[in-house]
C-alpha cells in the first residue's frame, strides 16, 4: 500500500500507532475500573499442578504464567501450603538442562525457561519430572535442571498427592 513519495505508508503507520495507543489506554482504564467481587485468600493450601501439555502463549507456556500468579499469591498471603509442579508428556522438556534442551530442540540457546523455573524453586515450589517420561526419552537425572526431582510416574504421584489432600490443577 505505497503511493507516490510513500505518504500512504507513513499515514498507515501513524494510524496503527494511534490505534495501538488507544487500545493500550482502554486496557489500562479497564484495569483501573476492575472491582473484585469475590476476594479470596488462602491461609493454607497444598496444590499439585499436572503439567503435561505445553500450550503456548507466544513463546511462553501458558501454565508458567498461572504458576507464577499462584506462587505470587501464596507469597503475598503468607500461605503455609506447598505447590508441586509435575512435568510429563510434551511439557517435560521444560525441565531439561541447557545441554539436553539444545539436543532435544535442535538449538544452541539453552533452556529458555531455566531462569523462571529456578526462580520457582527459590520460592519453594517443588518441581518434579515424571520418571516414565524421562525413561521414554532416555533422560537421566543429570539431564534435568538442578533441583528437579524425579518421581515414579506422573499418574502415581498425582494420585498420591490427591490422597494426601492436595488440590490438583490440570494444565
**How confident is the model over 133-152, as pLDDT tens digits?**
999 999 999 999 999 999 99
- Residues 64, 102: one domain? yes
What was the pLDDT predicted at 31?
64
- Residues 114, 89: one domain? yes
User: pLDDT grade, residue 1 (50/70/90)?
Assistant: very low
* CATH assignment of the domain containing 142: 3.40.1260.10
Domain residues for the domain of 157 are: 47-170
- Residues 73, 125: one domain? yes
Is 90 among the domain residues? yes
- Residues 76, 151: one domain? yes
Query: Which range among 15-19, 74-78, 118-122, 131-135 shows the weakest confidence by mean pLDDT?
Result: 15-19
User: pLDDT grade, residue 32 (50/70/90)?
Assistant: confident
- Residues 16, 74: one domain? no
141 DSSP assignment: G
- Residues 13, 54: one domain? no
What was the pLDDT predicted at 146?
98
- Residues 3, 84: one domain? no
Backbone φ and ψ of 126, nearest 5°:
-90, 125
What was the pLDDT predicted at 163?
98
What was the pLDDT predicted at 30?
54
- Residues 10, 51: one domain? no
Query: Which range among 19-23, 130-134, 163-167 shows the weakest confidence by mean pLDDT?
Result: 19-23
Mean pLDDT of 91-119: 97
Domain count for the chain, please give it: 2
Is 12 among the domain residues? yes
- Residues 24, 67: one domain? no
Whether residue 134 contacts residue 92, with contact meaning beta carbons closer than 8 Å, is answered with yes
- Give tens-digit pLDDT for 148-167: 999 999 999 999 999 999 99
Per the prediction, the chain carries an average pLDDT of: 86
Backbone φ and ψ of 40, nearest 5°:
-135, 135
- Residues 146, 88: one domain? yes
145 DSSP assignment: P
Is 42 among the domain residues? no
Q: Using the predicted structure, report yes or no on whether residue 72 has a pLDDT greater than 70.
A: yes
Instruction: Report the candidate in 72, 122, 109, 116 with the shortest Cα–Cα distance to residue 94.
Output: 116
What was the pLDDT predicted at 55?
93
Amino acid at each position: 500500500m505505497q503511493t507516490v513519495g510513500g505518504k500512504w505508508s507513513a499515514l498507515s503507520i501513524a494510524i496503527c500507532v494511534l490505534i495501538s495507543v488507544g487500545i493500550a489506554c482502554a486496557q489500562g482504564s479497564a484495569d483501573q475500573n476492575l472491582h473484585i467481587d469475590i476476594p479470596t485468600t488462602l491461609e493454607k493450601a497444598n496444590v499439585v499442578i499436572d503439567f503435561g501439555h505445553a500450550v503456548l502463549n507466544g513463546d511462553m507456556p501458558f501454565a508458567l504464567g498461572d504458576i507464577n500468579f499462584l506462587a505470587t499469591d501464596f507469597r503475598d498471603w503468607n500461605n503455609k501450603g506447598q505447590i508441586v509442579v509435575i512435568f510429563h508428556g510434551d511439557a517435560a522438556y521444560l525441565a531439561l538442562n541447557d545441554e539436553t534442551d539444545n539436543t532435544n530442540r535442535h538449538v544452541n540457546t539453552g533452556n529458555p525457561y531455566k531462569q523462571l523455573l529456578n526462580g520457582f524453586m527459590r520460592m519453594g515450589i517443588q518441581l518434579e519430572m515424571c520418571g516414565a517420561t524421562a525413561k521414554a526419552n532416555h533422560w537421566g537425572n543429570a539431564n534435568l535442571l538442578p533441583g528437579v526431582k524425579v518421581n515414579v510416574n506422573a499418574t502415581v504421584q498425582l494420585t498420591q498427592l490427591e490422597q494426601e489432600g492436595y488440590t490438583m490443577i490440570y494444565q
